[in-house]
Structure 1
Amino acid sequence: MTTSILTSFIIIISFIVKRIQADCQNNTLTETTFVYRRVCYFANWAAKRYDNISRLTPEDIDPFLCTHINFAFAKVLESLIIAPYEEDDLKGWTANSKGMYERILKLKETNPDLRVLLSVGGWTHASRGFNEVSKTAANIKNFVKNSVKFLRENKFDGLDLDWEYPGAKDQGAEPHSKTGYTKLVKKLSRVFKREAERTGQEKLLLTCATAAARHRIEAGYEVEEVCKYFDFVSVMTYDYHGSWDGKTGHNSPLYAMRNERKKFREWNINSSMLVWEELGCPKEKLNIGLSAYGRAFSLFGETGMSNGKPVTKKKSSIGIKASAAEAGKYTREAGVLAYYEICELLQNNPSNRVFWHQQMSVPYVSSKTLWIGFDNIRSVTLKMQFLKEHGYGGVIIWSLDLDDKTGTVCNEGPFPIFNAAKRELLILPDHLINKDKKCSDDNITITIEHLHSKMTKIKQSKNSK
């Protein structure tokens, strides 16, 4: 009797196993491999530069370099609408030429998996327009409705909110901006979802570029709440230091430097990401930030000067009194140098040497008169390994035009910074390979063999009696 029941049980289990195996085979056909996000910013003014080294057009971009491209920037008007910043965003300069929107979206013809979002705001835009939008429920409703219309008409895949920053009084944010930001994000998310369900179109993505410093995060974001509604959150983990400090400091350190002042102890990628986690944002939704530029400083002599007196030069030259370095001949902004401008400086002047800061895991250039904190292939690779080890979802990089687009200046291949990030992120950790697989043939086999073994033992026991 026992053997008969067990035999029937095995037949039933075998039937179930075959159905599971069939489902597994079907699921394999639709299974998608995990991909870390590589979010690249395209600056619409970069196409207007005069020289070929610094000018970047949409046609210069490898369609497979990024998983997402954020078109920067559009602006928010007090009339509660999104508007283009540049005259040639919507239409080209001549009757037959295409606008920048259309040209960047054309990359999707080669790579249909690419998603192109419109980034709204930016540092110089500050809180203009955003204050008005977030002031009342009626204003939010109107802005969201207008935004969906603008995004769909121009064929974007989503909206990247780059309000720098809600809660920041020094950037013109009004007292209601923190709670207003949350209400705006909720409404955008819900309307994007309903619009997709109604029209059958792919849902518009909702993302944001956010602050890295704790004081700005706590002042401007109800973190746990807003992270529920964003598809992903990009933390701008760069510009920690610059000429505004009046002394040298690295643009984007991975870790803190020992014995740093308390004020600056969290001004690094590791600490900033922990703040977002601690305040309730899921790690998989977070992107870390990379910059394809460095912050450059002019030193006041070999030892540096403070109040007219010489200061002993520190080993790493960090914290030495300094001002903004001369503008690069291509990007033409004091205190900022594109990656290819740094390469050119190193090639043209042997006194500009690259050093490695062991504690912060980043390189810097140091000479008698110049100091630059920047990223290179080595530090980018380490940062991407850090990203994977900590379970973050991806990276954002500012910006495509600041990398060596042709590879002829740095001699490291086209877009060396972006490609270094891509190469490392394409190497998946073991736990993410086939992570969505719903069954295992090995486990099924073991289960059946185990049952057969049990049945054999029962038979042997019965025969021995």
Structure 2
Amino acid sequence: MRRLLGIAIAITTVLAGAAAAPAAASAGSHRDGFVRVGYFTQWGIYGRAFPVKKLDTSGAASRLTHINYAFGNVSEDGRCYVDGGPGEGDAWADYQRPVPAEESVDGVADTWGEPLNGNFGQLQKLKAKHKNLKVLISLGGWSWSTYFSNAALTDASRKKFVASCIDLYLKGNLPNPDGSAGGPGSLAGVFDGVDLDWEWPGSNGEPGNVVRPEDKQNFTKLLAEFRTQLDALGRTSRKHYELTAFVPANPATIDAGFEVKKIFKYLDFATVQGYDFHGTWEQRANQQSALRVPAGAPDNPDFSVDSTIQAWVDRGAPRRELVLGVPYFGRGWTGVTGGQNGLFGTATGPAPATFEAGSEDYKKLKTLPSAGFTVHRDLRAGHAWLWDGTTFWTYDDPALVLQKVLYIRTRGLGGAMMWSLDGDDDSATLTRTIHFGLR
């Protein structure tokens, strides 16, 4: 942390000339302090060997305010469900898998036939250790936003969809097809609200998504229905159930799908896409998460954290309800020639990586300087990259994360979101850095 403090002084000096005065919290804000929201991926227990227990042993859980569980699916007929076929869900990972003692939060192995095993059972144990931690079910994501438009289409479909999500995730009535895990009320108390990750209302996301012009208005109506039913449930349980949403960086996507001045009436906060500004769908090595557009950038207009936040504020979003997304992964190109130490150079393709070409976890990228890569940093633009003369990786390291934390403070934002927690190292270095700056 001493090294980070030294970097923080330099960063603060740079920001002093570039940042506006801190904005006041919105009048409707009911939160004290900053939120620190981390996404836990359902599939991370497999190849990445990242069970819920690692959130505890790494120290991440004690430094988060929220965990978003990614993801819950939406059926073609507009309901929340976990009983889909291959590619549509993983009930085994969610709540059926008996977790062995070495992966269990409390060191006690699950047994077959318990009502709640798997990730959901471990989240229940994690919350028992960390009393102030909130867990939200995140619905959709890039792959499972296919039928959101159907669910949001009419008043009847919205009521049906929201009721199904509340019944499944908040009332906890999990399917129990084989008489083992699940059953009425088995999940009750694990989730504290709902995160909507519809990518994207009114705009194309993954090929095959249903998209309608009226999605923009229907998204607002869907939020209103969630808020109504969540509040009704809260009156019986004497609890506030949170409602959040993941929202895009592209101004065109914002305009096509979001009634910005209306939606924050229903949301506790929105997490803003602060990454994927560029990637290997382009043939130029570039930044994916810079605070500001770097000098010499070839694209005009271009994307950055600052332009994204400003786009939301200009359209009426309260700063205090905007939570900045921070990537725990990098984007990479290989066969790069030209540019400035690779930046803006022409690439032949995505860089080789552990799970997906062109995308690599921070925990792997941080080891590359010992393998011949040099770290380059643009403090004024707020981005960093790795370069070995051929391969280029844009990524966020602790120094850059600290710079973003200072940006969150100076801009009066609501906190930070991390995609995704399994990209961090075993010491939760990035999460600890965010907590250090936002506690």
Q: Give the TM-score, by structure 2 length.
A: 0.80
Match in the other structure for 1:396: 417
Matches within 5 A, 1:76-91: 76-84=74-82, 85-88=89-92, 89-91=94-96
Partner of 2:14: none
Per the alignment, residue 361 of structure 2 pairs with 338
Is the 8 Å Cα contact of residues 254 and 362 (structure 1) preserved in structure 2?
yes
Q: Give yes or no for the alignment of 1:145 onto 2:184.
A: no
Would you say 1:189 and 2:210 are equivalent positions? no
Which structure has more relative contact order (CA 8 Å, sep 6+)? It is: 2
Structure number having the greater helix percentage: 1
User: What residue is the counterpart of 2:131 in the other structure?
Assistant: 112
2:262 is paired with a residue whose SS is helix
Partner residue of 2:38 out of 32, 37, 40: 40
8 A Cα contact 1:298 1:325, kept in partner = yes
Residue in structure 2 matched with residue 209 of structure 1 by the alignment: 246
Q: Percent identity?
A: 27
- 1:105-158 Cα offsets, whole Å, 9 max, x none, are 3211111110000001111223x1201111111100111111111122123100
More displaced, 338-347 or 268-277? 338-347
Determine whether 1:282 maps to 2:318.
Answer: yes
Q: Which runs of 5+ in 1 are unaligned?
A: 1-31, 305-312, 406-413, 427-465
Partner of 2:270: 233
1:193 match: secondary structure: helix
Within 5 Å, which residues of 2 pair with 1:45-444?
45-49=43-47, 54-62=48-56, 63-84=61-82, 85-88=89-92, 89-93=94-98, 95-96=112-113, 98-126=117-145, 128-152=146-170, 153=172, 154=187, 155=189, 156-171=191-206, 172=209, 173-197=211-235, 199-261=236-298, 263-265=300-302, 267-300=303-336, 304=337, 313-329=338-354, 332-347=355-370, 349-350=371-372, 352-405=373-426, 414-426=427-439
> Would the aligned equivalents of 2:342 and 2:389 in 1 still touch at CA under 8 Å?
no
Distance 1:80 1:56 in 2: 31
Q: Contact (CA 8 Å) 1:290, 1:395: kept in 2 or not?
A: yes
State whether residues 299 and 320 of structure 1, in contact with CA within 8 Å, keep that contact through their aligned partners in structure 2.
Answer: no
> Mean alpha-carbon deviation: is it higher for 174-183 or for 269-278?
174-183
Q: Distance in 1 between matches of 2:349 and 2:243?
A: 36
Larger radius of gyration: 1
Q: Deviations over 1:52-103 (max 9, x none)?
A: xx31100111331210000001101123221232122122257157121121
Q: CA deviation at 1:323?
A: 4.2
**Cα distance, 1:299 vs. partner?**
2.2
**Distance in 1, Cα, partners of 2:349 & 2:379:** 25
Q: In structure 2, what is the Cα distance between the partners aligned to 1:169 and 1:112? A: 39
CA distance in 2, matches of 1:322, 1:284: 39
Per-residue deviation, residues 356-379 of structure 1 (Å, max 9, x unmatched): 123322211112210010011110
Q: How many Å apart are 1:259 and its aligned residue?
A: 4.4
Q: What is the CA deviation profile of residues 383-403 of structure 1, one whole-angstrom value per residue up to 9, with x for unaligned ones? A: 001101111011100111111
Superposed CA RMSD in Å reads: 1.8
| Runs of 4+ with >6 A deviation | none
Letter paired with 2:333: F
- Following TM superposition, by how much is the alpha carbon of 1:327 offset from its aligned partner in structure 2, in angstroms? 3.4
Q: Cα 1:318–1:111, aligned 2, differ >3 Å: closer, same or farther?
A: same
After superposition, the Cα gap between the structure-2 partners of 1:201 and 1:92, relative to the gap in structure 1 and judged at 3 Å, is farther
Kindly state the Cα deviation for residue 261 of structure 1 after the two structures are TM-superposed. Answer: 4.7
